[in-house]
Chains A and B, each alone.
Chain A
Amino acid sequence: MKKFLIRKVFSIPLTFIGITIILFSIINILPSKTLATAYSSSDKEMTEEEITEIIKKYDLDSSIIKRYYGWLKRVLKGELGYSQTAKMSVVDALKTYLPATVELTIFSIIPIFFIGSFLGMKAAKKKSTLTDRTITSISSFFYSIPSFIIGIFLLLIFYGILGIFEPGRYSTQTDILISSMIFKKYTGFMIIDSILNLNFQVLFDSVKHIILPALSIFLGTSAMFIKITRTSTLEELNKDYVRTLRAKGLREDYIIKKHIKKNILIPQLTVGGLQLIRLLGGVVITETIFDWPGIGSWGVKCALRLDITGVMGFAIVVSILFLIGNLMIDILYSIVDPRIKYE
């Protein structure tokens, strides 16, 4: 087990290098003159001379291997360059935008896990009844709807017609309050920060704004989870040990709570991991629709403006998050089921 984890942890830097090679090669399809703009550190348009100077300074005309080496050295030192879209350095931009994305991800993963488990087990318990059919068909209905359509319809209903929720991370008033001196930013997670500041107006406002995007992610990604919970619960319910438990006179609820729940964790984690992939990719779209100021919507803006440093920083960070997520799932596997041995 330990051996496996050590190997896994060591393979991460290798995969990371591989990812940077792929991204770097893609970016270098661009001509050196366009690439030169990526090295500027201000918003001003560059003059011809400045461009030639930068090309000379960073050896943009030299071989790709040499350039990659120089670039990687800078990236490992944490110099990701300047993003014209965010009007700040990429590192600062990530510090600004990443908490919003992480907050949204956490707020959608937790309901997916708990509500998804609940609904899946409920459907399995009441197999072939109306409850089961309702849960299965509604979840597969939402599974077929692309995430941007779910998002837009939620906006149409809750913002356009009902006017309860609105896009963005907080309302204008709260925005002013947050940027003022009174409000201290400890973590960047608005919900935690507002509790630490004992400011319940901000807390209420941020919760109100996070509901819609989180709901949109929940509807789009929970179906798979509900389905796997239902199938594996059914599978477990047909096993011999459950028959023994029933013969002992245990109640069905008790069997599910004490025995089934633990045994279905492995398939749940597997599918949960796959959902995480979908989520990280989908965050780009959800954030764009709901004007959520996370790395996803920033990445899209960078891609639209061909802000090369921004796009690179964004893609690298998403890939790192993804690698960490995968590692965490591997670790969770072995915690959940110590029988699993990795050779």
Chain B
Amino acid sequence: MIELINKMRNNRGAFTGVIIILIYVMIAIFAPFIAGRSNPDDPYIAKQYSFSPVPQKPSFKAPFGTTQNQYDIFYSMVWGTRLAFKISLFVVLISFIIGIIIGWISGYYGRIIDEIIMRFTDMVLSIPSLVLAMVIASILGPGIEKIIIAIAFVSWPSYARLFRSEVLKIKSMDYITYSKIIGATPFWILRKHIMPNSIYNIIIMASLDIANIVLMASSLSFLGLGSPQGYSDWGQVISMSRNWIISSFSNPLEYSHIVIIPSVFIFTFVLGFNLIGEAFRDIFDPKQIKR
């Protein structure tokens, strides 16, 4: 662990990535203090000033300007950060739990169960994930929990496969056999031997998965299949910006703030996680060592 931190510290990219992510974590944690709450029951609903269809440029009241229908972009960005973390953490948690249970059953008991489960994950993985998530999201209808379900459904198979391969690797080791001889139950072996040895890889995978999940969630919202209308969601603000690419022929950049601000947020978020991911890959995959 200490070795890992040292290696990360020497990697300039990873350092930048960690800083970016820390900033986003701060924004998410302190969202109520930065932007206030628009609605005491559901603060994720964006602050709306009026119903005027013309966006407003940045002003003192709305530092990042407003979109059509006067949704405050600043508020949407701040609470959108929290929403992004909320969605990705829930998705990771769900896929993590399902992945561990399924991967363990598959790897530990093997044989026919393993074959069936692995073929099933093959099938889920052979539908492009965004398309599958799109189908699920459209069936379930708009809503935050529904995006979480849709994305979790497409992401658990990779967790299950990773954990299965870990179980297979550890299962064949001698100390597990000894453990069985002295009468350890499968659950004991899972808890005491397999988990501590494999959890590390899965946690790394999960942390790298967050960028993908956020991207998929904002893609769904961008397509109109994600969060309900009026939520503080990065993807939704970008989808509104599509209407304002050409604001007027005399000044095409008049409303470009709607395009640029959310893009910068999503970009830096994904960049932060990608930088960390790159560093992890350099550290753990000796084949890709930079020459």
Contacts and interface: CB of A to CB of B under 8 A. Distances in A.
A159 B218 CA distance: 24
A264 B104 CA distance: 37
A195 interface: no
B219 A315 contact: no
Contacts of B122: 15, 18
B130 A284 contact: yes
A188 to B, nearest CB: 22
B139 A30 contact: yes
A144 B270 CA distance: 6
A288 B130 CA distance: 14
A314 B127 CA distance: 11
Interface residues of A, number: 50
A48 B40 CA distance: 41
Contact of B267 (A22, A146, A238, A318): A146
A146 B215 contact: yes
A303 interface: yes
A234 B253 CA distance: 44
Q: How large is the interface on B (under 10, 10 to 19, 20 to 34, 35 or more residues)?
A: 35 or more
A304 B138 contact: yes
Contacts of B127: 19, 22-23, 315, 318-319, 322
Contacts of B136: 26
A155 interface: yes
Nearest to A163: B252
Contacts of A127: 291
A285 interface: yes
A29 interface: yes
Interface stretch (A68-76, A275-283, A329-337): A275-283
Interface of A is mostly: helix
Interface string A128-162: 00000000000010011110110011011001110
Contacts of B130: 281-282, 284-285
Nearest to A30: B139
Contacts of A15: 122-123, 126
Nearest to B132: A315
Contact of B131 (A18, A149, A288, A315): A315
A311 interface: yes
B225 to A, nearest CB: 6
Interface in B216-272: 218-219, 222-225, 235, 238, 241-242, 245-247, 252-253, 256, 259, 263, 266-267, 270-271
B253 A161 contact: yes
B209 to A, nearest CB: 15
A153 B263 contact: yes
Interface in A192-229: none
B123 A26 contact: no
A156 B259 contact: yes
Main secondary structure of the interface of B (DSSP, over half): helix
Residue from B123, B253, B271, B274 whose CB has the most chain A CB atoms within 10 Å: B123
Interface string B113-144: 00000011011101111111011111110000
A314 B223 CA distance: 16
B123 A231 contact: no
A76 to B, nearest CB: 18
Given A160-B246, A161-B252, A299 B131 contact: yes
Contacts of B128: 277, 280-281, 318-319, 322
Given A146-B219, A303-B134, 19 more contacts: A15-B126, A19-B126, A26-B135, A27-B139, A144-B270, A145-B270, A146-B215, A148-B218, A148-B222, A156-B245, A156-B252, A156-B259, A160-B246, A161-B253, A281-B131, A288-B222, A300-B223, A302-B138, A319-B126
Which 9 residue pairs are nearest across A and B when measured between Cβ atoms? Answer: A303-B138, A18-B123, A281-B128, A281-B130, A160-B252, A144-B271, A149-B263, A319-B127, A280-B128
Interface of A: 15, 18-19, 21-23, 26-27, 29-30, 127, 140, 143-146, 148-149, 152-153, 155-156, 159-161, 231, 234, 238, 277, 280-282, 284-285, 288-289, 299-300, 302-304, 306, 311, 314-315, 318-319, 322-323, 326
Interface of B: 119-120, 122-124, 126-132, 134-140, 215, 218-219, 222-225, 235, 238, 241-242, 245-247, 252-253, 256, 259, 263, 266-267, 270-271, 274, 278, 288, 291
